[in-house]
């Protein structure tokens, strides 16, 4: 019965298996063998010491010669050798020529591999680009970077780059919907100002980085800092924000400045922080609520229109949220650990 399944369905089944498990399934029949030989999703971890380069190279040659479509190409490097750089160039070329849509590429952050970012962004089919550990300060922009209007997700983790490279990347991908910026170094300022379609942003900032966000379409924002770090966050404009996940030890000055006056009004605030910060946030929220209830409708300033606040504490034991009773705008300090996680449901 397994032999009568269409190749596209076999591809779907194999996509849930590891490479070794998928290879074992190829013995079922010629149909399964053919499906395994033409898998659209390729995932390789290369290591010069394990000498698996030749195997990966042979597979990529087969895909190139057979013009086999590639949907997703994931390549992680643990070889720590410049000898693999020409192979990276060749394999990335094959993936791009064969219409790759999702590209995941990870190397050690101190590598000197000159990632061909211009060639990657020139791919008309690319919809997701995930880079880990690359050093983009070594990439030349003298020839310019083409616009990649097809890209919808851009993820940078442990990438070394400067402000010019970040803005060049963002300007060349104006229609991204999702952006991840996870502990990237080499720049002091992170600005998200001209993204026309952005809906989801995750930022885990490195030390002493100022973050400015102006994103009228943004709906989901996750913002993290290491313990003890200053948030340095300025949300200029995010009127459609639905959810804010906030893992910090301090409240940004821009939040405190005018009684919690934001240009955004999230309906959900998930806060993971210290006892002091959580209590301070609660005080600000309840103050805003009291202003809303005590001011006439005609004279209500925008930032004081908080009608209701509900709080939920995350129990790490059973992995569930439990409601917390608020009394006179305060929570008993006994309900707060040294570091805890709360969710506030906000009705504006």
Q: Give the Å distances, CA to CA, from 81 to 77, 87, 90, 194, 243.
A: 9, 11, 16, 38, 43
Residue 19's pLDDT band (cuts 50, 70, 90): low
- Taking Cα atoms as reference points, which of 221, 232, 248 lies closest to residue 342? 248
Calculate the dihedral angle through the C-alpha atoms of 204, 209, 215, 217, rounding to the nearest 10 degrees: 0
Q: What is the structure's pLDDT at 286?
A: 79
Q: How confident is the model at residue 302 (pLDDT cuts 50, 70, 90)?
A: very low
CB 170 within 8 A of CB 195: yes
Distance, in Å, from the CA atom of 332 to the CA atom of 195, rounded to the nearest integer, reads: 42
Q: 30 Cβ partners below 8 Å, 6+ apart?
A: none
CA atoms of 191 and 194, how far apart (whole Å): 9
Instruction: Name the nearest CA neighbour of 46 among 80, 70, 17.
Output: 80
pTM for this prediction: 0.85
* 332 in Cβ contact with 341 (< 8 Å): no
Q: Kindly tell me if the per-residue pLDDT of 72 is higher than 80.
A: yes
In terms of pLDDT, which residue wins out, 27 or 2?
A: 27
What average pLDDT does this structure show over 147-170? 94
User: What's the pLDDT band for 324 if we cut at 50, 70, 90?
Assistant: confident
**Distance set, CA 143 to CA 114, 134, 211, 273, 291 (Å):** 14, 20, 29, 45, 56
* Helices 85-97 + 53-66 axis angle, to 10: 30
Q: Whole-angstrom Cα distance, residue 35 to residue 320?
A: 42
Closest CA to 138 of 158, 109, 167: 109
Residue 229 near residue 206 (C-beta atoms within 8 A): no
Token pair of 320 as six digits: 């569930």
pLDDT of residue 220: 96
Residue bearing tokens 């659209």: 40
Q: What is the pLDDT of residue 40?
A: 86
Q: What is the pLDDT of residues 183-221, one digit of tens each?
A: 999 999 999 988 889 999 999 998 889 999 989 999 999
Per-residue pLDDT tens over the stretch 139-153: 777 667 789 999 999
259-282 burial, b for 16+ CB within 10 Å, e for fewer? ebebbbbbeebbbbbbeebbebbb
Helix (H, G, I), strand (E, B) or coil at 202: strand
Pairing of strands 308-315, 243-247: unpaired
With the CA atoms of 150, 152, 157 and 159 taken in that order, what torsion angle do they form, in degrees rounded to the nearest 10?
A: 30
What's the pLDDT tens digit per position in 97-120? 999 999 999 988 777 788 999 999
- Write out the DSSP string of 14-81: HHTS-HHHHHHHTTS-HHHHHHHHT-SEEEEEE-GGGT-HHHHHHHHHHHHHHT---SEEEEEE----
Strands 128-132 and 178-182: unpaired
Look up residue 227 and give its two tokens: 């313990």
- pLDDT of 1 above 50: no
Residue 23's pLDDT is what? 63
Q: Is the dihedral of CA 189, 138, 97, 64 positive or negative?
A: negative
More confident call, 227 vs 243: 243
Distance CA 94, CA 158 (A): 26
β partners of residue 155: 130, 180
pLDDT higher than threshold 70 for residue 28: no
Give the mean model confidence (pLDDT) for residues 335-340: 65
First-to-final CA distance of the chain: 57
In this structure, of 14-23, 45-54, 210-219, the range with the lowest mean pLDDT score is 14-23
Mean pLDDT of 276-283: 83
Report the distance separating Cα 277 and Cα 281, nearest Å.
6
Q: In this structure, are residues 101 and 71 in contact, taking their beta carbons and an 8 Å threshold?
A: yes
The average confidence (pLDDT) of the chain is 82
Distance of alpha carbon 281 from alpha carbon 285, whole angstroms: 6
């Amino acid at each position: 019965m397994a032999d009568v399944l269409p190749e596209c369905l076999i591809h779907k089944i194999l996509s849930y298996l590891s490479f070794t498990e998928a290879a074992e399934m190829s013995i079922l029949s010629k149909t399964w063998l053919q499906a395994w030989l033409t898998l659209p999703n390729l995932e390789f971890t290369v290591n010069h010491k394990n000498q698996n380069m030749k195997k990966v190279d042979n597979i990529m040659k087969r895909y190139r010669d057979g013009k086999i479509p590639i949907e997703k190409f994931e390549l992680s490097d643990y070889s720590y050798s410049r000898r693999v750089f020409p192979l990276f160039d060749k394999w990335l070329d094959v993936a791009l020529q064969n219409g790759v849509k999702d590209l995941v590429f990870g190397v050690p952050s101190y590598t000197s591999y000159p990632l061909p970012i211009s060639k990657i962004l020139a791919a008309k089919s690319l919809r997701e680009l995930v880079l880990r550990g690359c050093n983009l300060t070594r990439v030349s922009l003298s020839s310019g970077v083409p616009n990649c209007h097809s890209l919808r997700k851009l993820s940078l983790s442990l990438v070394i780059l400067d402000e010019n490279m970040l803005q060049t990347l963002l300007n060349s991908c104006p229609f991204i919907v999702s952006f991840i910026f996870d502990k990237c170094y080499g720049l002091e300022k992170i600005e998200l100002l001209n993204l026309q379609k952005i809906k989801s942003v995750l930022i885990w900032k490195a030390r002493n980085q100022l973050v400015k966000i102006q994103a009228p379409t943004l709906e989901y924002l996750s913002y993290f800092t290491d313990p003890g770090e200053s948030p340095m966050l300025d949300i200029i404009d995010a009127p459609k924000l639905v959810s804010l996940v906030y893992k910090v030890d301090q409240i940004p000055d821009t939040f405190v400045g005018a009684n919690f006056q934001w240009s955004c009004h999230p309906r959900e605030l998930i806060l993971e922080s210290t006892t002091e910060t959580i209590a301070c946030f609660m005080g600000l929220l309840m103050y805003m609520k009291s202003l809303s209830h005590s001011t006439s409708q005609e004279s209500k300033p925008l930032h004081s229109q908080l009608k209701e606040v509900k709080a939920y504490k995350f129990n790490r034991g059973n992995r569930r949220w439990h409601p917390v009773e608020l009394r006179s705008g305060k929570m008993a300090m006994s309900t707060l650990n040294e570091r805890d996680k709360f969710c506030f449901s906000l009705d504006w």
